[in-house]
Amino acid sequence: MKIALVGGTGDIGMGFAMRWGQKHEIIIGSRSAEKARESASAMMQLLGAAGNIQGSDNASAICSADVVVLCVPYEHLAYVTSGLRDAYNNQLIISPVVPMAYNGKFFLYQPPSEGSAALQARSLLPQGVKVVSAFHTICASALQDIDRVMKADVFICGDDAQAIDITMQLAGEIKSLRPLKAGPLAVSSMVESLTPFLLNVARKNKIKDAGIAVVSERLIKNIN
């Protein structure tokens, strides 16, 4: 697949590029095409001949992609959706975007009026575009380490069965990540809110590279 990482020069975008760059055609997007090409070159040096990563401006990356991952902070969501609306056609859009803030003591989930970042993205994009929310609780630094076994779950929300299946396939290609269906796009707020919750727990308990995994009661009994 051709996968565009919009705003992909940041930590989460570089993580996806490292994990998917040996199997798929990755296009790192940025407002600055030059910056995107520099990031792509750096990723290619790490992956070697097996990598397939290039850089481009955001609009060009979107136009040529099958899948678009919104690798941006929440404050840039409107720019990469409605601001680039003409670049979208019928791509699958994956949103790991989380609307949150830090008040100096802890992180807070602050959803928009639509209810979640994923629902806001869908409202700003052309009607035929399919939106799935996923990867909210995956640590960006761990994602960049291609030898790292993640041992975490990816919670996926969406309304289109094929779009969910493709997202689950991409998540499953990352070492030891387990994709789990979490419900329709309407419940994305529940998954997005796990990010500030996880950050607060990690900070309070000094846990590095924290993630979330669902454990069955049967497994817990076996462990005990």
Query: What is the structure's pLDDT at 175?
Result: 85
Mean pLDDT of 110-126: 97
Residues 182-208 have pLDDT tens digits of: 999 999 999 999 999 999 999 999 999
Q: What is the mean pLDDT of residues 116-139?
A: 96
Predicted local confidence at residue 219, as pLDDT: 54
- This prediction has a pTM of 0.94
**Element containing residue 37 per DSSP (H, E):** helix 33-47
Reported in sequence order, the residue ranges of the chain that DSSP labels E, i.e. its strands, are 2-6, 25-30, 53-57, 67-70, 92-95, 100-102, 107-109, 130-133, 152-158, 177-183
Q: In angstroms, what is the C-alpha Rg of the chain?
A: 17
Q: How many domains does the chain have?
A: 1
Task: Select from 169, 178, 192, 191 the least CA-distant residue to 150.
Answer: 178
- In the predicted model, what is the mean pLDDT of residues 96-110? 96
Q: How confident is the model at residue 4 (pLDDT cuts 50, 70, 90)?
A: very high
Half-sphere exposure at residue 103, Cβ-oriented, CA atoms within 13 angstroms:
8
pLDDT at residue 180, as a whole number: 97
pLDDT at 151 (0 to 100): 86
Looking at the chain, the whole-number percentage of residues with pLDDT higher than 90 is 85
CA 106 from centre of chain: 23
Confidence of residue 150 (pLDDT cuts 50, 70, 90): confident
Asked if the model's pLDDT at residue 146 lies above 90, the reply is no
Domain residue limits at 94 = 2-223
Q: At residue 17, does pLDDT exceed 90?
A: yes
CATH value at residue 152: 3.40.50.720
**34 burial class (0-12, 13-18, 19+ CB within 10 angstroms)?**
exposed
Which pLDDT value is given to residue 221?
53
Name 77's Cβ contacts closer than 8 Å, sequence gap at least 6: 70, 97, 117, 120, 121, 124
